[in-house]
Structure 1
């Protein structure tokens, strides 16, 4: 059985649209280098630029 990794040890990127941090997901395993957006809403450009508290 593979060794488990802590969530804090996973790679992190910043979303190109909203600026939120994204943590690596198993679904993005093969395409992690191409991932730019955290969600479909950001990918479609409908993300609002709100200041984060």
Structure 2
């Protein structure tokens, strides 16, 4: 079993974790011209999915 020989410092661990980024989903433009977030209903029309 692999066991670290020395403790990883807070700085080194933080440097490694800088690449774990959360990206926000891009908004979608509906047919009526309003913008909404994906997987959310339109505030004005109440429609969930418009093709």
TM-score of the two chains, using structure 2 as the length reference: 0.29
Per chain length, whose mean CA-contact separation is higher, i.e. which structure has more relative contact order (CA < 8 Å, sep 6+)? 1
